[in-house]
Amino acid sequence: MASIEDKLRSAGIVLPEGSSPAANYTNCVLVNGLLFVSGKGPSGNPRGKLGADYSTEEGYGFARSAGIEVLAAVREAVGSLDAVKRVVKAQGFVNATPDFAEHHKVLNGFSDLMTEIFDERGKHARSVFGANSLRDQLPVIVDSIFEVRAGS
């Protein structure tokens, strides 16, 4: 069975170093085998709203990019993505105009990445919310919960 790192390489995905928290919090908290990951936005710090500045397809790419940032934080926290037993939950926040209605399609960028990398273990519960604004005017932020192996 291929390692998760092998799957990332095969998919052409290079994880960045985990980003540092922007304030008085931590990237991840591990409690009873559950790793709670703070909200992550896409790399490059794009700014703007879905429905005005960006299309649904661009939002999908932003959510995928946020997923890569999440994976970097998880790897930093537990040492290896092979320690992930399951992606449990994702919450997506989409900075969107009031008439934008494709939030779920945007968050598919995150969800599709998780199943691409973790197969069935990547299928998760999720919620997605439209937001009037997000920090730094990011178009998407995703927070998530992972189940990890003991000793991670």
Sketch the domain layout of the chain as residue ranges.
4-12+27-147
DSSP state of 133: -
Residue-level pLDDT, tens digit, the chain, 152 residues? 679 989 999 999 999 988 888 789 999 999 999 999 999 999 998 999 999 999 999 999 999 999 999 999 999 999 999 999 999 999 999 999 999 999 999 999 999 999 999 999 999 999 999 999 999 999 999 999 999 997 76
- pTM of the entire structure? 0.96
Q: By CB neighbour count within 10 A (0-12 exposed, 13-18 middle, 19+ buried), where does 6 fall?
A: exposed
DSSP strands (E only) in 15-124: 28-31, 34-40, 84-95
Burial 95-114 (b: 16+ CB within 10 A, else e): bbeeebebbebbbbbbbebb
User: Which residues partner with 30 through β-bridges?
Assistant: 35
Q: Does the 4-12+27-147 domain belong in CATH 3.40.50.920?
A: no
Judge contact between 51 and 5, C-beta under 8 A: no
